[in-house]
Amino acid sequence: MASLITKVLIAEDESAIREELVECLTNEGFDCIQASNGHDGLNILRQDIEITIVLSDIVMPQKSGLEMISDAQPLIDDDRDLEFIILTGHGGSKEAIDALNLGAIDFLEKPIDLGYLIHVVRRAEELVILKRTSRQYEALLQQDIQAKTRQIRKILGNLDSVYGETLERLEKTAEHNDLKSSGNIFLVREYAQVLAKALGWSKERQSLMLLAAPLCGPGKISESDSRFLKSYQLDFDNPGLIKSYALDEYDTRLYSELDVMRVTDIILKNQHERWDGSGYPLGIKGVDIPIEARIFALAEAYNALRSKQHYKPAFEQKKTLSILFNGNGATEPMHFDPELIEILKQNSEKFNEIYLRWAD
């Protein structure tokens, strides 16, 4: 166990001065170690790791004080502090500058003012204590950060599990209610991610789409069965019914400051809008439609065409792309963002691979 008494190395080739310094600092409660030259002083520093303050003359035989300080630098690390105080009878400014550049905290001229010496050594002791305390605090802080990080990761892991289970329950509920009008909600999010990634979105922003997209599909679960449990296509001759569903679907969601729920709200409000302005409920067009909703609309359209509906069979890849790229009367390419249509053309095989993977 390290001593609580501060150890001081006094490297001075003049024995009378060295003994005077030892006596002065010993009376002040310091544990003093002596060296008559820089070579011996360096060896002592290497062997006694409890020494934290060094008083050194500059001109000494075998190795100067500046050389000793320079060679002692590798001894200073996270586990050890060394504070240097230079003593000289010459008072040269160059030596003073060199000593300060090497990390010396003060430069004392001989004859030494013992009162000032005690003050400087006490200040060096305070620096050592401050550095030790700072390291201990940082170590404790790091431990606390690591512990909290583990807790946060555990919480996030639990949230991921809850989120995954929630999606599974939503999908099972949709299956139970025979509400497959949007197909598999997990497919839509993967299609959306392909589009978002191709746009150059960050991983964080892609993740928001991955989390939000599935939450936009199961909204129909809460709707009246009379709207969806039909053996024929929805009555598009009744625009009031369709628009009321879109507004109801958005209004029944809780507003949230969470990013994922904010994106969900954006999609729910705008997913039925069309690029050419023929959509609903607001009839906005082009870039006025939020990009999240434009991505979801194309991903959902592809998914709906590939999925078996109450009013149609599941279409093969070729027919699905033909409808999206060329139109069939009900679905037209001008309904979608042209840039996203181009991305789909370039990544159509990825879409098909996603579909086939889930189909298996």
Q: Is residue 139 part of a domain?
A: yes
Confidence category of residue 229, pLDDT binned at 50, 70, 90: very low
Alpha carbon distance 255, 219 (integer Å)? 15
Alpha carbon distance 5, 25 (integer Å)? 12
Give the DSSP per-residue string, 236-277.
TT-HHHHHHHHHHHHHTSPP-SSHHHHHHHHHHHHTT--TTS
Q: Is residue 274 part of a domain?
A: yes
128 contacts 6 by C-beta, under 8 angstroms: yes
Which residues 6+ apart lie within 8 Å of 316 measured at CB?
none
Name the domain boundary from 143, 162, 191.
143
Q: Is residue 168 part of a domain?
A: no
Q: Are residues 288 and 238 in the same domain?
A: yes
**pLDDT tens-place string over residues 109-143:** 888 899 999 999 999 999 988 888 888 888 888 88
Q: Are residues 205 and 87 in the same domain?
A: no
Cβ atoms within 10 Å, residue 76: 12
Name the domain boundary from 143, 167, 194.
143
Q: Are residues 351 and 204 in the same domain?
A: yes
Residue 199 pLDDT greater than 60, yes or no: yes
Q: What is the pLDDT of residue 132?
A: 83
Q: Are residues 325 and 275 in the same domain?
A: yes
Query: Which string of b and e fits 247-256 if b means at least 16 CB within 10 Å?
Result: ebbbeebeee
Confidence category of residue 240, pLDDT binned at 50, 70, 90: low
Percent with pLDDT over 90 in the chain: 36
Q: Are residues 235 and 132 in the same domain?
A: no
- Residue in 29, 57, 26, 17 with CA at minimum distance from that of residue 41: 57
Alpha carbon distance 331, 351 (integer Å)? 18
DSSP 112: P
17 contacts 110 by C-beta, under 8 angstroms: yes
Q: Is residue 153 part of a domain?
A: no
Q: Is residue 215 part of a domain?
A: yes
Q: Is residue 271 part of a domain?
A: yes
Entry pTM? 0.49
Alpha carbon distance 18, 36 (integer Å)? 8
Q: What CATH number does residue 17 fall under?
A: 3.40.50.2300
**Terminal CA-CA length for the chain:** 66
Range of the domain at 200: 177-359
Which residues 6+ apart lie within 8 Å of 137 measured at CB?
none
Percent with pLDDT over 70 in the chain: 77
Place of tokens 């069965």: 225
Residue 90 pLDDT greater than 90, yes or no: no
Q: What is the rounded average pLDDT of the residues 49-53?
A: 90
Q: Are residues 57 and 198 in the same domain?
A: no
Cβ atoms within 10 Å, residue 146: 10
Q: Are residues 119 and 182 in the same domain?
A: no
Q: Are residues 195 and 111 in the same domain?
A: no
Q: Are residues 108 and 190 in the same domain?
A: no
Q: Is residue 152 part of a domain?
A: no
- How many residues are given for the chain? 360
Q: Are residues 129 and 182 in the same domain?
A: no
DSSP 315: P
Q: What CATH number does residue 213 fall under?
A: 1.10.3210.10
Q: Are residues 16 and 120 in the same domain?
A: yes
Residue type, 200: G
**pLDDT tens-place string over residues 251-298:** 444 444 457 778 888 988 898 999 999 998 899 999 999 999 999 999
Number of domains making up the chain: 2
